[in-house]
Chains A and B, each alone.
Chain A
Amino acid sequence: DAGITQSPRHKVTETGTPVTLRCHQTENHRYMYWYRQDPGHGLRLIHYSYGVKDTDKGEVSDGYSVSRSKTEDFLLTLESATSSQTSVYFCAISDPKKETQYFGPGTRLLVL
């Protein structure tokens, strides 16, 4: 298994509160991604990173920000959580030699 961990694994929060999810990799890969998974939508890209301090938006980036101060960590922040952000969040890393993305175990977020 690719060395990807996510924390927390489960979180319940209230509308309007800030939330930060963490993705940590031990593979030293340059490319990292945040996706959200919702029924009927598969996985959709929120933000991605192509290096330390290099990030860009995906298709569903509104309401989210990211930061990457170290190769191994990619943080996803919900500045002010809303009920529409209730979802399962997956982090992924890309191995360019294998042309393959590997996924973390996911974080289940419930916004009340």
Chain B
Amino acid sequence: AQSVTQLDSQVPVFEEAPVELRCNYSSSVSVYLFWYVQYPNQGLQLLLKYLSGSTLVKGINGFEAEFNKSQTSFHLRKPSVHISDTAEYFCAVSETSWSNTGRRALTFGSGTRLQVQP
């Protein structure tokens, strides 16, 4: 089984400032890692994912994340945020291997609400 911890439930930040949203995970098996964004009253949109290879992953809207296996972390960063980045951000993991039923469901953290202030 896996678990995901997002350490901050809310992160207020001023426009054009850098931001880091923290994510730690626990798993007894290899995992893939994801960040999703949810704008108000909308569904979830994939920001970026780590499957293999380079541990620094770049996503949409200028976001990036770094996979740190020893720290079991996958923190999300952006060097300069905009008002339009105000949203809720979810970190998630899934197993890398398919079970007999091909479950590969996502396990989510509780979310971090990013509030960008002018």
* Partner-B contacts on A (CB < 8 A): 30-31, 33, 35, 40-45, 48, 50, 54, 56, 58, 90, 92, 94, 96, 99-106
Contacts and interface: CB of A to CB of B under 8 A. Distances in A.
Find the residue from A44, A99, A102 having the highest chain B CB count within 10 A. A99
Interface string B71-101: 0000000000000000000101010000001
Given A31-B102, A94-B104, A105 B32 contact: no
A54 B101 contact: yes
The 7 closest A-B pairs by CB, nearest first: A42-B108, A103-B44, A43-B108, A50-B102, A105-B43, A103-B43, A42-B110
Nearest to A30: B102
Interface residues of B, number: 27
B101 to A, nearest CB: 5
Nearest to A91: B43
B70 interface: no
Contacts of B9: 40
Interface centre among B32, B49, B103, B105 (most CB of A within 10 A): B105
Contact of A43 (B51, B90, B94, B103): B90
Contacts of A54: 101
